[in-house]
Amino acid sequence: MAEKLELLLTEISSLSNQRYKLFFLLPAATNQQKLLNDLNREGIPTVNIGLYLSEQLRFVPSDKRPFDVTKWLRKAISDQKNDVVCLHNIEYLFDPELKQNPVKLLEAHSGNTVLLVIWPGKAENGVLYYATPEHPEYYQNSEYSNSMMIY
């Protein structure tokens, strides 16, 4: 597992000169906590986005939430005061009530900060998937086939 961490740290440093500094991590189901612990040991803060956004948006009327998501996501990232931030439990970003494209939203916030995103779905042939095609939260993205790693 140490070699995966070293590989990840190399990937992080290579992102510094990219326009979008977004990298997706796909941990095995039993490895997510280990991944979070490894990142914390390296001084990389982790943010539970689902918990954070649900706390911030709970008093916002549902029709206004799509407009406030960006503001609160930006604050969650900037409050870490770090060049690299890991976001996990991002499932809430897929909620149809938020009317967001989760990857584009994260991409927009990755200009100055390397965002490591623990992807809650799967990846096949360089395509990120969340949910199944018949599910209302279904999502797929093939733009980051070179920016993902199974941890």
In tens digits, what is the pLDDT along the chain, a chain of 151 residues?
589 999 999 999 999 889 999 999 999 877 899 999 999 999 999 999 999 999 999 999 999 999 999 999 999 999 999 999 999 999 999 999 999 999 999 999 999 999 999 999 999 999 999 999 999 999 999 999 999 999 9
pLDDT score at 141: 97
pLDDT score at 90: 98
Nearest to 46 by CA among 76, 72, 16: 76
pLDDT score at 94: 98
pLDDT score at 1: 59
Residue 149: both structure tokens together: 């790693």
Burial class (CB in 10 A: 0-12, 13-18, 19+), 140: middle
pLDDT score at 29: 72
- Give a three-class secondary structure readout of the chain: CHHHHHHHHHHHHHHCCCCCCEEEEECCCCCHHHHHHHHHHCCCCEEEHHHHHHHHHCCCCCCCHHHHHHHHHHHHHHCCCCCEEEEECCHHHHCHHHCCCHHHHHHHCCCCCEEEEECCCEEECCEEEECCCCCCCCEEECCCCCCEEEC
